[in-house]
Amino acid sequence: MRLFKVWVLVIAFFSVHLFAANSHVDKPAKGFTLPDLKTGNNITLDKFEGRVVYLDFWASWCKPCVKSFPKLDELHKKYKKSGFDVIAINLDQNKNKALEFIRQRPVSYTLLYDKNASVAMDYKVQAMPSSYFIDKKGVIRLTHSGFRPGDEDKIEKAVKLLLAE
C-alpha cells in the first residue's frame, strides 16, 4: 500500500513542480542542529521525529519567498495538531536581513539560521526556495523548488497524503 501511495504522490505532483526524481527522495533526511533565527537556541531535526515536515530553504532576497511565507503559515496552522510542521532555514549571510524579512512577514512556524549554508550544502539546495517533504519516519518523499500561484494547493495535497500514512 505504501508503494501505491508513493506512486500516487509522484504521478499527481511530478507535472506541477513537485519532484520525486531527486537524489534525496526515498532516503533518510540528513540530521542537523541549527540556531533558532530569533532566540539563537539550537534546534535539531530530531525534535520533529514522528511528524510530517516541510523543510524550506529561503533567503530575504527571494521574491517567491515573500508569497510562500503566508501560505506556508496557513498550512502550518491548519495541520499542526495533525502532526505537520514547517521548518524554514534562512541562508542570508547577514542575519539582520532575515530578521527584517520576518518582522514584516511574521509566521508561527520554526525559523532557523544556516549562517555557513552547511545544511543547504548537505541538501544540495540550488534554487530559492527549495523544499523537502519529510515523512513521519524521517524519509524525504518529495522535493519542491520555487513558489508559484497555486503551489500551496499542491503542497497541501502532498501534506494530507503524508499525514494519512
What is the model's pLDDT at position 47?
Answer: 96
Helices (H) and strands (E) in the chain, counts: 5, 8
Higher per-residue pLDDT: 1 or 30: 30
pTM score, whole prediction: 0.86
Could you list the beta-strand ranges (E) of the chain.
18-19, 33-35, 42-44, 52-58, 84-90, 110-113, 130-134, 140-145
pLDDT above 90 covers a percentage of the chain that reads 82
Which domains, and CATH codes, for the chain? 2-164 (3.40.30.10)
pLDDT of residue 24: 62
DSSP bridge partners of 86: 54
Helical axes 63-79 vs 151-164, angle rounded to 10°: 30
Nearest residue to 54 via CA among 147, 149, 144: 144
Pick the closest to residue 42 from 29, 32, 56 (CA basis): 32
Residue 108 and residue 73 in contact, taking contact as beta carbons nearer than 8 Å: yes
Q: Answer for the pair 140, 29: CB distance below 8 angstroms, yes or no.
A: yes
What confidence tens digit (pLDDT) does each residue in 83-142 have? 999 999 999 999 999 999 999 999 999 999 999 999 999 999 988 999 999 999 999 999
| Residues ≥6 apart with Cβ < 8 Å to 31 | 44, 45, 46
